[in-house]
């Protein structure tokens, strides 16, 4: 079997592949897109970093392709949907760059406290200027960490070693986990108002895009020092530039940018109190060796028909099982992402219940699909079927599995409930209906509904009173939002009622604000599946 190593990975990784019996390895670094199309015609696996684009056209030109291995975390350069459609496994290596990125973050933090790069530049220019490069200490200062995953946790350890007080904002981290890591949980506002230094460690999602914007800087301490080695776009660059000019931010360090490479005329390049690096987070010999060896081992396992690890588009099961489980995996992923979007931010328990014929299937795979769906908007690209349980564990979320023998109205039913530490919960259940095995939502927060589990949903809980359906329909219509389908439910007359609507387009922020501001509405949530 032929393996194309399209981008330069660790020589040890390449050597590992060459040592495996039956493998032919082709190294073709820096190939043009046209050359890649030619090379993939008879390959069974491709190893890439971030340079080579594995597009739908590349996948179509590779009829023998079984697996694409990404030496790194992000898979932005791989068309995962097209790969899934063609039955190609896409894998990443999410843990290899943890220490490298944490250490680079701390390097930026130190350079933000002591202007070493600026002082070094002045020395090389022949100057001896001690007065211009005075700094401050880390000791007894407060570091705010936004996102306490693998990398954020490593940064916290290093900050504690420097005698810093560590605040952590992570809406999905339960207090018990924060206590174990010896950090102080805080709201984002608390972190902004109390921190001398802030560093961000979250994936770039709809929720984290421009999380640190003009309003955030307005709340922050004067003289804040802020750093981003995670993803460009979490910190709004125009707001950062304005805050640096006003003196609200004393220093900044950036390894990632909204658009990469950073424009040559970017104002950030001209600011003396900003340290910039060209996306070097994983650029250490150890990290590159680690991800290179890891991706080589994972590719070899797949080609030998062994375990599938760190797949971003399928669970660790064999191809025959995928055929049977596919519709249930899709249903589970959708129920997981739906319950996450309507649940409280801090969930203590994710309770999954199986009824009927589902007992006969590999529920472990379905469980992992639910977990991955739940984490999709929280952890971004780094979560997959293999590491989802560990990510939940790091967040302090317990996963509880129940196989119920009680009677149900359905021959197979899957329920997912997110329970907060105070006992409040949100739940959804679903099943497969018709020969096409289309996923359907059949209950939501205990109320019966009949909703297609796809696309754009608007979920509204309200006091059961006259005029609510007309009010919602009129508001959506007046704002150009078409209703594809609507399901209604209620407990008893005058109590809680539920409206679930399949929409053709996303409602505007103004529409959502008006719905949430209606005194009769207790929940108004737009959800995408």
How far does the chain reach from its first CA to its final CA, in angstroms? 38
Token pair listed for 184: 């102080």
3-state SS string for 413-469: EEEEEEEECCCCEEEEEEEEECCCCEEEEEEECCEEEEEECCCEEEEEEEECCCCHH
DSSP 8-state secondary structure symbol assigned to residue 164:
-
Token pair listed for 256: 């990632």
Dihedrals phi, psi of 311, to nearest 5 degrees: -75, 135
* Radius of gyration of the chain measured on its C-alpha atoms: 25
CA dist 29 and 16 (Å) reads: 18
481 within 8 A of 505, measured Cβ to Cβ: yes
83 within 8 A of 90, measured Cβ to Cβ: yes
Dihedrals phi, psi of 334, to nearest 5 degrees: -70, -40
DSSP string, 8-19: ---HHHHHHHHH
CA angle, residues 513, 233, 50, in degrees to nearest 5: 135
**Cα-based distances in Å from 21 to 2, 16, 25, 303, 306:** 11, 11, 11, 11, 15
**Cα-based distances in Å from 62 to 45, 138, 357, 428, 455:** 9, 53, 38, 40, 31
DSSP 8-state secondary structure symbol assigned to residue 268:
G
487 within 8 A of 443, measured Cβ to Cβ: no
Token pair listed for 495: 């109590």
331 within 8 A of 439, measured Cβ to Cβ: yes
User: Which are the catalytic amino acids?
Assistant: 231, 260, 279
CA angle, residues 251, 257, 258, in degrees to nearest 5: 125
| Count of H-run helices and E-run strands, the chain | 17, 22
From the list 521, 524, 481, 471, the residue with the least C-alpha distance to 503 is 481
CA dist 106 and 164 (Å) reads: 12
């Amino acid at each position: 079997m032929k393996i194309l190593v399209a981008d330069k990975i660790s020589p040890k990784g390449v050597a590992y592949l060459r040592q495996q019996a039956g493998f032919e390895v082709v190294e073709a670094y820096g190939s043009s897109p046209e050359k890649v199309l030619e090379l993939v015609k008879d390959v069974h696996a491709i190893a890439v970093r971030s340079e080579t684009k594995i597009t739908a056209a590349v996948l179509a030109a590779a009829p023998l392709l079984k697996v694409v291995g990404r030496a790194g975390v992000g898979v932005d350069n791989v068309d995962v949907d097209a790969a899934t459609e063609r039955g190609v496994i896409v894998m990443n290596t999410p843990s290899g760059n943890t220490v490298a990125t944490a250490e680079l973050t701390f390097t930026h933090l130190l350079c933000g406290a002591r202007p070493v790069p600026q002082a070094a530049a002045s020395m090389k220019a022949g100057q001896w200027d001690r007065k211009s490069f005075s700094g401050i200490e880390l000791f007894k200062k407060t570091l705010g960490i936004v996102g306490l995953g693998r990398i954020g946790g490593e940064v916290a350890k290093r900050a504690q070693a420097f005698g810093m007080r560590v605040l952590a904002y992570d809406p999905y981290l339960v207090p018990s986990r924060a206590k174990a890591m010896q950090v102080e949980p805080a709201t984002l506002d608390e972190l902004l108002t109390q921190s001398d230094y802030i560093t961000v460690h979250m994936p770039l999602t709809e929720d984290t895009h421009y999380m640190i914007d003009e309003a955030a800087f307005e709340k922050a301490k004067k003289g804040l020092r802020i750093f981003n080695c995670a993803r460009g776009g979490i910190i709004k660059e125009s707001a950062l530039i304005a805050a640096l000019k006003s003196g609200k931010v004393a220093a900044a360090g950036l390894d990632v940018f909204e658009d990469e490479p950073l424009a040559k005329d970017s104002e950030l390049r001209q600011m003396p109190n900003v340290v910039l690096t060209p996306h070097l987070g994983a650029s250490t010999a150890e990290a590159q060796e680690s991800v290179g060896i890891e991706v080589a081992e994972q590719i070899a396992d797949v080609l030998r028909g062994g375990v599938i690890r760190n797949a971003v588009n399928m669970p660790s099961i064999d191809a025959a099982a995928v055929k049977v489980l596919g519709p249930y995996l899709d249903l589970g992923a959708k129920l997981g992402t739906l319950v996450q979007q309507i649940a409280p931010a801090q969930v203590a328990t994710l309770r999954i219940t199986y009824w009927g014929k589902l007992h006969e299937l590999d529920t472990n795979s379905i469980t992992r699909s639910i977990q991955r769906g739940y984490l999709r908007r929280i952890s971004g690209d780094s979560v997959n079927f293999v590491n989802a349980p560990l990510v939940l564990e790091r967040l302090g979320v317990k996963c509880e599995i129940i196989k119920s023998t009680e009677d149900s109205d359905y021959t197979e039913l899957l329920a997912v409930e997110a329970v907060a530490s105070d006992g409040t919960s949100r739940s959804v259940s679903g099943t497969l209906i018709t020969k096409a095995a289309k996923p359907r939502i059949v209950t939501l927060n205990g109320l019966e509904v009949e909703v297609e589990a796809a696309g754009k949903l608007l979920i509204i809980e309200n006091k059961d009173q006259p005029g609510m359906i007309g009010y919602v329909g009129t508001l959506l219509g007046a704002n150009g939002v078409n209703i594809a389908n609507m399901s209604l439910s209620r407990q008893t007359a005058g109590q809680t009622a539920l409206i679930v609507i399949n929409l053709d387009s996303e409602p505007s922020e103004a529409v959502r604000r008006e719905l949430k501001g209606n005194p009769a509405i207790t929940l108004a949530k737009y959800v995408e599946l």
